[in-house]
Structure 1
Amino acid sequence: MLPLGRRSVRVRSTLVLAAMALMSTLAIGVILDTLIRTNAHDTALEETQRAAIQWIARARAGSAPHPIPTPGPVKLIQLVDNQGRVIDASAAADHMPPLSTIRPPDDDRIENVTVCRSAEGCGIVTAIRFALTDKPGDADPHYVYAGVEAPKLLASHELELFIGAGVIGLTALAAGINWRVSGRWLNAVESVRMQVSTLSMNNLGTRFGQPRQHELAMLTDTANQALDRLEKAVRQEQQFASEASHELRSPVAGLHTQLEEALLYPDDVDPRETIRTALSATDRLTQIINDLLVLARLRADPAPQETIDLGELVIQEATARSRDVPVTAHATSKVPVRGRPIQLIRVIGNLLDNAQRHANSRVEITAYRQDDLAVVAVTDDGPGIAPEDRERVFERFTRLPDGQRRDPGGSGLGLAISADIAHAHQGSLTVEDSPLGARFVLRLPLVESADGPAHPATDPVCSGERSSSGRPAQRRP
């Protein structure tokens, strides 16, 4: 037999409820039995006392008939003298010995007793001490006994048996109801468990049905939402793995072919050129692998967020840029956001790298407030991005023809990494219309800085604006 801790929830809940029902109904049964017995006993005593007192009143008035009359259910009445002799009696008690040997004392003239005789059963008797007359010389006490047969309820255990049967029946009913109700609930839980047991990577599209029970419906809704997120994440990972393997396969295959040719045809292949080409391929592989590691770390970055002045960050990054393509930076006095500095620096760096790569002569970056958002806009004067490609450029390993021409060794992950970082900071990264070239806009939630709450400003130049040269920046025409 299994111990209680290893049995099913259904068995345990039924046993616990049955025990509680048994104790409750048993207590109620004991109380009910006591009340019924007490009430029956008190009712019988009231009748015997009433009959005895009525006869005594008539005897003292000199109008007591012989034999003693028996009103109501009281059939046994006897008048007994101080010597224990029956002087008068009712018809039913005429030839009987005294109903009781109890002699109430003078200070307690009425006593009640239950008398049981093996042959005749039990009876309830009231004994009253009194004097036949009020004369001082008539001091010998007499006793009146009035008795009735004890009710069957008191003389047997039928009441206890009846109450016991009720206790067992109610306990069984409570256990049966719990067994059925808990079974219905647990069947629904078992159905969900069976569906969960069939889940695998091949059928993540499975969704749980909606049970009738509200709590289970909430559970299945939550599980379905979790499956939605899991399916989406798994598909993204599968797509990412497929795209990553495809992007890594090409340079690895090219490198393998070049090295194989150098070994097979040593007289026809320039070893220095082969090594140079191999180094270029390994550089591209290194860049792809580094970017893949960044994407993997974005989802589990343990670094805490802190308050950062985005305008100051923009000025610092613009100042550190190479001078091949000039970068002009504009920033308002305070643009505070919550984030991880290393990640936000990477976003700004990726956007500036991309702008400088495609610009013809200049790049402009601005940081300002707009309502409750911090905005960083990076604009170049290059060929721009066609409207139909503005969403696609943020997909992993996507490289437009102009980008492949200007940077053949690129991984196509820079903008995808930047978009993921923006989303991780509850922000967005988009491509917007620009009169000339491309315009990338990063938006992040503003926070209150130590100097007070952030107030909205307009793009791109405000009073107190800073630039990378340290002088007030001029608005771009």
Structure 2
Amino acid sequence: MRLWRDWSVRTRLTWVASVVMALACAGVSVLVFLGVRDLAMSERRQQIVLADLHVGRLIRLGRLPPVLPPQKVAAVQVVDDTGRIVSSTRQLVGKPLMADIAPPDEHGESHGVKCSLPGHKGTCMNVVVTRYYRKEGDWLIYGADPVVPWYVNSALVAILGIGSLFVVTATALGMYRIVGRALAPVDSVRRELTEITASDLSRRVPLSLHRDEIRNLAETVNETLDRLQQAVERQRRFASDAGHDLRSPITAMRAQVEDALMHPEDTDWVKTSESLVVSLDRLQAIVTDLLVIARLDSGEKVTRDYVNVAELVRTEVGRRFRGKRIALDLQHGVVVSGDRLQLVRLLTNLLDNAERHAMSTVTISVRRDVHHAVLEVIDDGEGIAPEQREIVFQRFTRLAAGREKDKQGTGLGLAIARDIAEQHGGSLTIEDSPKGARFVLRAPLLTVRSPG
């Protein structure tokens, strides 16, 4: 079994085809042997009957000698109506009756197979008994010839053996060649994949000219490479942006500390410490968001709980410092399945963004449509231009208005919110609003049936 597993697909298929063809040839050969043997036995029996008829003609002409000349069969005996042997071929002279076969009175012929006849020890003979009708009494003419062997003759064995060997060999070579051609595109895909490295993900595997399974495989591989290239490029941009955003507060802190150390007597250490704390807060916020992004990108399994969206909103709003007025429009009984902590983070990020841009009021509504729970967070600020509604969800993206209103922002809040929405099978978009920005979360609605 281990040797079989170590063989290539090409070799295994060739062996399977060869074995199947060998079995088929063996079956055909058996059928040929059986058919030819039946024909040969019928012909042999007919030959014996002709020999018996020839002897019957000698009886009719009255020229039957005691010792018959050589016939076209191995042995012939003639028995009169009293059971006496009156004539036979030379090897049966003085020998008893060759067989106890006799045709019924109403039949003129009978036949059978007898082994070790007199004068033919160790040989099985095909015996045909013919009744010769005479007025004085019927005589019996016995004719015998060796039975046809199962293989008929060695020439037929040689022909079938050589023919079967040729067919099996041709099948093996043909299958090996056909499978090789069929798997050639797969080998091309394999070679191309071995040459693709992380430094050059733009290469793609070749597509087969035929619209078949191999082409489907190559297209799937190319689609996977497309996604891999996009993921790697996104990771590179992420690393670059993260490095830049981490470098800014670190550089600022270093500059402040070096300046203070150069002129310690002129430094207001309390003010310097306060500036350092602000930079450290920004650094901590960036690191925290980066850890959240890393967990989301790792495909961490979402813990599924029953979450009542209206109760979640009411609880989180009650915990917040009311910098802006928050208006609630909550429809009860809107339940989703998801990770409560992640959904809280999503809501918090949307509220932080809304309060940052709102003039006076943030409106939160919860409702259901046919298949989704819908959460809307609307501010009464300046809004977001349609061409920028997707840009704000990109990581480390901060529009000019956002940088002016919050210099400590990380540019990751909305990106994290959308990632959480997508992990829950939903979507987060910005839709039209009469005033301000309108963020709309849609998540699959969970139908809760009451007991009974």
TM-score (norm 1): 0.78
Q: Residue in 1 aligned with 2:36?
A: 36
Query: Structure 2 vs 1, CA of residues 373 and 15 (structure 1 numbering), >3 Å: closer, same or farther?
Result: closer
Query: Counterpart of 1:43 in structure 2: which amino acid?
Result: E
- The equivalent residue for 1:177 is 174
C-alpha deviations, 1:221-240, integer Å up to 9, x for none?
A: 22122112212211111111
* 1:471 equivalent in structure 2: none
Pairwise CA RMSD: 3.8
Question: Does the alignment pair 1:8 with 2:20?
Answer: no
Counterpart of 2:360 in 1: which secondary structure? coil
Give the superposition deviation at 1:55. 5.5
Instruction: Sort the Cα spacing of 1:128 and 1:378 in 2 relative to 1 into closer, same or farther, 3 A.
Output: closer
Counterpart-to-counterpart distance in 2, 1:107 and 1:407: 123
Range with greater deviation from structure 2 (101-110 or 235-244): 101-110
Task: Give 2:278's aligned residue.
Answer: 280
Q: Indicate conservation of the 8 Å contact 1:78/1:146, yes or no.
A: yes
Cα distance change, pair 17–125 in 1 and its aligned pair in 2 (3 A): closer
Distance 1:164 1:106, change over 3 A: closer
Conserved 8 A contact 1:80-1:98: no
- Report the Cα distance in structure 2 between the residues aligned to 1:14 and 1:213, rounded to whole angstroms: 25
- Distance in 1, matches of 2:152 and 2:303, equals 83
Deviation at 1:443, TM superposition (A): 2.1
Secondary structure of the residue aligned to 2:265 is coil
Question: Contact 2:428/2:440 (CA < 8 Å) preserved in 1?
Answer: yes
Does the Cα contact within 8 Å between 1:45 and 1:124 map onto a contact in 2? no
Q: Which amino acid aligns with 1:323?
A: R
Partners of 2:379 and 2:111 in 1: how far apart? 118
**1:319 and 1:164, CA in 2 relative to 1: closer, same or farther beyond 3 A?**
same
CA distance in 2, matches of 1:409, 1:218: 49
| Offset of residue 5 of structure 1 | 4.0
Give the 3 Å change call, closer, same or farther, for CA 127–435 of structure 1 in structure 2. Answer: closer
Deviation at 1:425, TM superposition (A): 2.2
Change (3 A) 1:316 1:335: same
- Is 2:104 the counterpart of 1:103? no
CA shift for structure 1 position 206: 2.0
Q: Over residues 373-397 of structure 1, what are the superposed CA-to-partner deviations in whole Å (9 max), with x where a residue is unaligned?
A: 3222222223333334332222211
Is structure 2 residue 232 aligned with structure 1 residue 234? yes
Of 224, 241, 246, which aligns to 1:243? 241
Residue identity matched to 1:345: V
1-side partners of 2:327 and 2:252: how far apart? 40
Q: Structure 1 residues 33, 355: closer, same or farther in 2, change over 3 A?
A: same
Moved more, 23-32 or 359-368: 23-32
Question: Residues of 2 paired with 1:154 and 1:401: CA distance?
Answer: 97
Q: 1:274-304 CA distances to partner (integer Å, 9 max, x unpaired)?
A: 2222221111011001011111112323232
Residues 390-414 of structure 1, C-alpha deviations (whole Å, 9 max, x = no match)? 3222221122233222221111111
Q: What is the correspondence of 1:18-57 to structure 2 with a 5 Å cutoff? A: 18-49=18-49, 51-52=51-52, 56=56
- Aligned residue number for residue 474 of structure 1: none
Q: Give, in whole Å, the separation in 1 of the partners of 2:379 and 2:152.
A: 109
How far does residue 28 in structure 1 lie from its aligned partner after superposition? 3.0
Unaligned runs of 5+ residues in structure 1 are 88-92, 117-121, 453-477
SS in 2 for 1:267: helix
Residues 346-395 of structure 1: CA deviation (Å, up to 9, x unaligned):
11111111222222322221111234332222222233333343322222
Q: Is the 8 A contact 1:86 1:97 kept in 2?
A: no
Counterparts of 1:106 and 1:390, CA distance in 2? 108
